[in-house]
Every structure is written in structure tokens, then in C-alpha cells.
């Protein structure tokens, strides 16, 4: 059975497990008001996020994707990264892909590609929440992978990135992104 983390539903697929990290399930979405000047560029978005407390490592690369294409390719989330397939929950997941034909959180060059829904660029609040969410997950996973010699079991990885699991990395990333939005608005905790 495959767990599609972007929509939070199990899907039956024989002998393959689809893995990805996603930004989803934010509680501050009602506060994500559109920018008066329209959507931001990815360079502007990165600067906005960093100015609002988001650490973005040099190896993290954000790519804006048209919403219709994003829906078709990635499903129902705000952003996604680390997309690959494994044989099952005991299969190894690597931090860095060993070649262009293997999967890992980072590609073979060491770059971590994060695909972001274009409509996220419409609001400085959504930018900060989503980029903060993804980089929080990536940095927490980076630490876990480093502690495990660059690999972990697929089941362990999924337990950390799937929505709805109290106190896992995804849960913490949602809280982190939402707190950044509250801080931007002066709403505190």
C-alpha cells in the first residue's frame, strides 16, 4: 500500500511505496491575505521567508509550479520535496541519491528540490508559512539522517513526514510555519 502524504490517503499499489515530504494542513490559512502588489518571484519569496525567521540552507532550491500542473503532478499540498519510490517500509531511504536514477531527499548533486504551488507566491504569509514548514522538515530530517549515517528505513521516514501524526516532524513544521505567520501579524503564540 502506498501512502500519498500530499493528500493523506492510502492508495493500493503492489510492492512500491511512494515517499515525499509535503507542506499541508496549516491552521493559519485564513490569515494568508493576498499581497496588494500581486505574486512574488521565488527570489523575493526566499528573501521574505528569511526576513521572517526562516533558515534556508544553500542546498535548498525552490521551484514555483503552476497550480494546475502542481495538482496534476503532486496533488493537494502547498509544496513537496524528496519524492521517490521504494520497495517497502523496510527499504533504505538515502539522504543523497547515489545517481540520477536513484532517489533520495537530495538529488545526486546534493541539491534538495522543493516544488512550490504558484499560488503560495500570492501572499507573504503563505510564503513564510510554507517555506518555513518545508525548511523546518528538511533540517530536522537532515539531522536524523546524519545521526543514522545518511540513511533510514522508509517506514521511519514516513512516520516523520506524514500528516496527522502528533509531534512528528511534519506536525512540528506546521506549528513552526503557523507561528511565523502569527509573529508577522503580532499575534504571539
Instruction: Read off the pLDDT of residues 145-186 as tens digits, 9 standing for 90 and up.
Output: 999 999 999 999 999 998 888 999 999 999 999 999 999 999
pLDDT in tens, 16-75: 555 555 655 788 999 999 999 999 999 999 999 999 999 999 999 999 999 999 999 999
β-pair partners for 104: none
pLDDT tier at 4, thresholds 50, 70, 90: very low
Greatest alpha-carbon pair distance for the chain in Å reads 49
pLDDT of residue 46: 98
SS3 for 95-138 is CECCCCCCCCCECCCCCEEEEEEHHHHHCHHHHHHHHHHHHHHH
pTM of the full structure: 0.87
Amino acid at each position: 500500500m502506498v501512502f500519498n502524504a500530499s493528500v493523506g490517503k492510502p492508495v493500493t499499489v503492489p510492492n512500491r511505496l511512494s515517499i515525499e515530504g509535503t507542506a499541508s494542513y496549516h491552521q493559519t490559512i485564513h490569515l494568508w491575505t493576498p499581497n496588494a502588489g500581486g505574486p512574488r518571484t521565488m527570489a523575493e519569496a526566499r528573501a521574505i521567508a528569511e526576513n521572517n525567521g526562516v533558515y534556508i540552507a544553500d542546498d535548498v532550491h525552490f521551484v514555483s509550479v503552476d497550480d494546475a500542473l502542481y495538482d496534476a503532478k503532486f496533488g493537494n499540498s502547498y509544496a513537496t520535496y524528496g519524492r521517490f519510490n521504494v520497495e517497502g517500509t523496510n527499504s533504505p531511504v538515502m539522504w543523497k541519491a547515489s545517481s540520477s536514477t536513484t532517489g533520495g531527499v537530495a538529488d545526486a548533486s546534493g541539491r534538495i528540490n522543493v516544488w512550490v504551488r504558484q499560488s503560495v507566491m500570492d501572499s507573504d504569509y503563505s510564503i513564510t508559512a510554507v517555506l518555513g514548514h518545508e525548511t523546518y522538515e528538511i533540517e530536522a530530517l537532515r539531522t536524523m539522517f546524519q545521526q543514522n549515517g545518511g540513511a533510514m528505513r522508509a517506514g521511519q521516514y514516513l512516520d516523520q513526514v506524514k500528516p496527522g501524526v502528533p509531534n512528528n516532524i511534519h506536525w512540528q513544521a506546521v506549528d513552526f510555519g503557523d507561528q511565523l505567520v502569527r509573529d508577522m501579524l503580532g499575534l504571539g503564540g
